[in-house]
Amino acid sequence: MNYEQIETFLTIAALKNITAAANYMYLSQSTVSNRIQALEEELDAQLFIRRKGMRNVELTSYGNAFIPIAEQWSSLYKDTQALKHQDNISTLNIAAVDAVNACTYTGLYEMIIKKHPQLKLNIRTHHSNEIHGLVENRTADIGFTFSRINYPNIISKPVFRELMYLVCHKDNEYHDEISCSELSTDNEIYLNWGPDYDQWHLQHWPEDKYPLITVNTGNLLQNFLHEKDRWAIAPMSVIQAIKGRDITYYRIKESPPPRICYELTSRYPNFSHVQAISLFEKELENYIRDNNSICTFEDWMLQNR
């Protein structure tokens, strides 16, 4: 059994077609077939069902059971090869949603690049569902999202929460502990902060009441809050990022659910990145503890979720 055979098996398992797998790997179809035949002989088991006249192949029950083993085998092989190229410089690939990268973690990233020059950060902004996929295939070492999707090879843990506030222009007619009934969606700059938030929003404003405008990132809110009647709802890190631009905020009587941020890591991380991940997590814990705009995680935050 070798790496080429394992990768060929995983490619066919994903594409369900030997010809497509051969094209994807820039190999001849006979080479691909020979690799699978050799692997099946070594395992003494059939991995695929090849039906006459059918282009696609099907995994046998053994083949399905072999996939997670093959993925771990491939992961260990890549880690072993990475040892040859280790030096004092480590690159950490981070994928996070916009609010985390652009607002919550800006101070953390700045601190790390100054305090740990040997740790090179590769930071990318993605949507939550994309981040789960990037961590699953180990393109990203760490992911940060405000939602969780069950993936067998992803460890998901809550790391902090943020309270949500009404945010508006400083020349407004709103007040602290304002009720949702006092706010008209005709003046709302709407951003869907997640399923829990969306459900809360529907409880207080009818579905047929449309907002003034809908945006998809926290940074866009500031572009539309220049008139006194307009309002939005945002977490404190986003508010602090735009607060200096004639922006203020108030507590809402019927408080929106707090945003819980989840850290995603692979169950089988790149071996050469394990120390870098551990270092980042230690600095993250200190950053959250010392940052007044976010709160550390407590068990009650997951109640009724």
Identify whether residues 168 and 226 lie together within a single domain.
yes
DSSP-based three-state secondary structure for 227:
coil
Q: pLDDT tens per residue, the chain (305 residues)?
A: 899 999 999 999 999 999 999 998 888 899 999 999 999 999 999 999 988 778 789 999 999 999 999 998 988 887 777 666 555 668 899 999 988 998 889 899 999 999 998 888 999 999 888 999 999 988 999 999 988 888 889 999 999 988 899 999 999 989 999 999 999 999 999 998 888 899 999 999 987 788 999 998 888 888 899 899 999 999 988 888 876 668 899 999 999 998 889 999 999 898 888 889 999 999 999 999 888 778 876 766 665 44
- Final residue in a domain of this structure, among 43, 59, 84: 84
Our count of domains for the chain comes to 3
pTM above threshold 0.85: no
Identify whether residues 157 and 264 lie together within a single domain.
yes
Identify whether residues 101 and 149 lie together within a single domain.
yes
Identify whether residues 178 and 222 lie together within a single domain.
yes
DSSP string, 37-55: HHHHHHHTS--EEE-TT-S
**CB atoms closer than 10 angstroms to residue 190:** 19
DSSP-based three-state secondary structure for 89:
coil
Residue 162: beta bridge partners? 259
Q: Which long-range contacts (CB under 8 A, 24 or more apart) does 43-46 make?
A: 43/1
How many H helices and E strands in the chain? 10, 13
| Residue span of the structural domain in which 224 resides | 164-250
Identify whether residues 169 and 100 lie together within a single domain.
no
Identify whether residues 238 and 122 lie together within a single domain.
no
- Final residue in a domain of this structure, among 50, 84, 118: 84
